[in-house]
Amino acid sequence: MTKNGAAIINGKAYAASLRERIKAEVPKFQEQTGRAPGLAVVLVGDDAASQVYVASKHKATIAAGMESFEHRLPADTKQEDLIALVEKLNADEAVDGILVQLPLPGHLDEKAVVMAIDPDKDVDGLHVINAGRLANGEEALTPCTPLGSLMLLKDQLGDLSGLNAVVVGRSILVGKPMAQLLLRENCTVTMAHSRTRDLPDVVRRADIVVAAVGRAEMVKGDWLKDGAVVIDVGINRLAPEAGKEKGRLVGDVATAEAMDHVRAITPVPGGVGPMTIAVLLRNTLVAASMRAGLVKPEGF
């Protein structure tokens, strides 16, 4: 807790706990199937940030006792060759989850690549079939960041029924699936964005605020209702200060201001970020269980 009573939501600790629970389920899956769940990650090109993400995913997958299959392709890979690899992974029984690291080099059609992934192996939750399943209230593989955000919200608030929630941002990766998840929890949900009229007033009505618009410290402290719980999905690097090589990382919420109003808020970094890889492992375990005809592990 901070001196004014607002709590910092420790996404790193929650993610570590989730990863341990997943690790404990893997041997049970192995006993029933004779193999470990498998995650295939495809990286095209040499984008530095993507390389870091892929390395982190590989390390976490191995630590959970799962099989990790990495495919690193050159930046000039042709569309048909990438699709062919995805189709090969679709047919591979050792692979339960497929993740193509985004963004792809500009000459590749990201949508076509995502659509080529078997929806039952789409652990990023981006295929339109999974989006449709989620919108229809059916079991679906769901994008990792919004699902992780929901876990943090439920850990803070318990039952979310009847609460007013505002999602700032409408991307297919975070905003839209986040809204669907909150609706499923019986929240009253408003989807807002950078062009919403009177955005501060809209946000001020919310018991729950999920900021995922990609603008540094856009949501100000006086936009927030006293006692609100805030999930800050944004990660933005400010211009470096004099004498420093890199600028500091901030979210989409002006955290210092927000602390005077909110009940709890995720920090940047250390809030939502650690949840993303943990939920990727969760999605891989769930996909593996469903593909094997097993009951989804309890609590996942």
Active site residues: 57, 101, 124
Evaluated on CA atoms 133, 135, 138, 140, the torsion sign reads positive
Rounded to whole angstroms, how far apart are CA atoms 144 and 150? 10
Q: What is the helix (H) or strand (E) element at residue 97, kind and residue range?
A: strand 97-100
Residue 213 contacts residue 252 (beta carbons within 8 Å): yes
Query: Could you give the strand order of the β-sheet that contains 67-73, starting from the edge strand earlier in sequence?
Result: 67-73, 38-44, 97-100
* Closest-CA residue to 255 (of 276, 239, 243, 272): 272
Rounded to whole angstroms, how far apart are CA atoms 89 and 85? 6
Phi, psi of 188 (to 5 degrees): -95, 115
* Closest-CA residue to 138 (of 119, 160, 163, 152): 119
Rounded to whole angstroms, how far apart are CA atoms 89 and 257? 47
Residue located via tokens 């700032």? 168
